[in-house]
Amino acid sequence: MISSSDPGPGPGLGLDPSHEGGLMLFRNAARTHGRHPARTGLRAGALAVVVAAALVSCTQASSGGGPDADAARTVDSVENADRAEREAGEAAEAGETAPTAAPSPGPALVRDAFATLQATLNETCTPGAGDCAYFLGRVTRELTELDESMRADTKGPGHFKKPLADMKALFDKLGDDRSEAHLEKRFSEIVGTRDGINAWMQDHPDDYR
């Protein structure tokens, strides 16, 4: 039994007012301690995000990366490809429009060269009359071309040994002088060589007529 002299229970839990004040301080401290770690965690998380973003930005800036750099590289690649295509097209057009040098003709066939020499058989001139420049010049030119054709023939120079020897003897006498006066001095040698080669070619088994 509780005596009337015992103090009654305090308000609330029946604790002494001083005890109740201590309990309130404990609860407040607990609440404060419980909230502080949460705020500290949020601050730490936010700081980590900011640091990570800064590192990414620095990495992209130092390496030239990032969306802007990728876009710039893409534009440069496209422009370089277009430029290379244009240059290739211009080079192709230049190659198509550039005139192609015609190959230098080789010596005429022996039969063709001999045919043009035969065309002079019915022609002649009178030395000193002033009409030998063309005739003797033409015969000498036809003999020179026939000599070149015989030397280039697939049968070889040995196949035309006699006419080649006769023409060499004539060319040695003529030298490089093709003046009318000089050719008139060699009139007999020029006409004689022509007629001798004509006879030899017509008697040849291959019949170059």
Per-residue pLDDT tens over the stretch 70-81: 555 665 666 776
Report field, pTM of the whole predicted structure over 0.85: no
pLDDT for the residue numbered 78: 62
- What average pLDDT score do residues 170-175 get? 96
**Distance of alpha carbon 20 from alpha carbon 15, whole angstroms:** 6
Sorting pLDDT into bands at 50, 70 and 90, what band is 3? very low
- Tell whether the torsion through CA atoms of 117, 123, 127 and 129 is positive or negative: negative
**What's the mean pLDDT in 119-139?**
94
Task: Report which of residues 195 and 155 the model is more confident about.
Answer: 195
pLDDT at 146: 96
CB 208 within 8 A of CB 201: yes
Percentage above 90 pLDDT, the chain: 39
pLDDT digits (tens, 9 = 90+) for 89-112: 777 666 555 555 555 556 679 999
CA pair distance 156, 152, nearest whole angstrom: 7
φ, ψ for residue 44, nearest 5 deg:
-65, -40
| Residue 13 confidence (pLDDT) | 44
Q: Is the pLDDT of residue 124 over 90?
A: yes
